[in-house]
Amino acid sequence: QVRLVESGGGLVKSGGSLRLSCAVSGFSLIDYYFSWIRQAPGKGLEWVAYISTNAAYTDYADSVRGRYTISRDNSKNLLYLQMNDLRADDTAVYFCARDRLYFAGLDVWGQGTTVTVSS
Amino acid sequence: DIHMTQSPSSLSASVGDRVTITCRASQAISVYLAWFQQRPGKAPRPLIYGASSLHSGVPSRFSGGGSGTEFTLTISRLQPEDFATYYCQQYNNYPRTFGQGTRLEI
């Protein structure tokens, strides 16, 4: 069964750091691009970052560039999002998603993990 | 960045109705447009990719159309489980961008 499971969310103070993980099962991480997407309370979906199959290419939303780092460990089937210098407006549910690019877009999503940044 | 605009922002309908949601891109994106359904407290569920192709398991009452800058999502014969929020999203390039959402209410 194809599945993504996020973990690592929690409550952190403004200026702090968190690392989110996304565990992949049912398929091999190495074959796909991945994205992180977030959703602030009561708001819409915001794409955060992507990473290519071999991590050669990454990109970020302007709102997180320079503070967040996306990475992957293909040997462990794990995707990561390192979040530094967190701010109150980073509070959101964070989803990881498989990105099949032009073939089918974001076709598999995790259930999300909640990050709360207190000021 | 490509800006995505959905209309309407909210919509009231009844079980059995046919509804259409429109999504407009600020620049041409060919057919690289996806639709997602999200129920409260849940992850987005992929419905449509390539503007008109249904993901596996999506009921045939959902249909999508359009290309370039204008796209539609149509739900025929609304079912109780269809009342949710719908998002369009372009994947023609990065950054991926989403519409603001359309809340479909009973």
pLDDT of A41-100, one tens digit each?
Answer: 999 999 999 999 999 999 999 999 999 999 999 999 999 999 999 999 999 999 999 999
Is the minimum CB–CB distance between B95 and chain A shorter than 8 Å? yes
* Residue B68 to chain A, least CA–CA distance (Å): 15
Q: Tell me which chain B residue has its CA closest to the CA of residue A61.
A: B95
Of B34, B43, B101, the CB nearest to A44: B101
Average pLDDT of chain B, as a whole number: 97
C-alpha A52/C-alpha B92 separation (Å) is 16
Q: Residue A24 CB: number of other CB atoms within 10 A? A: 24
- A47 contacts on B by Cβ (under 8 Å): 89, 95-98
Q: pLDDT band at residue A103, thresholds of 50, 70 and 90?
A: confident
Q: Residue A102: is its pLDDT beyond 90?
A: no
The two tokens of residue A77 are 């089937």
C-alpha distances (whole Å) from A83 to each of A14, A23, A48, B59 are 11, 17, 11, 38
- A46 contacts on B by Cβ (under 8 Å): 98
Residue A119: the pLDDT is: 86
Q: Which residues fall within 8 angstroms of residue B75, CB to CB, at 6 or more apart?
A: B18, B19, B20, B61, B62, B82, B104
Average pLDDT for B52-57: 96
Residue B25: the pLDDT is: 98
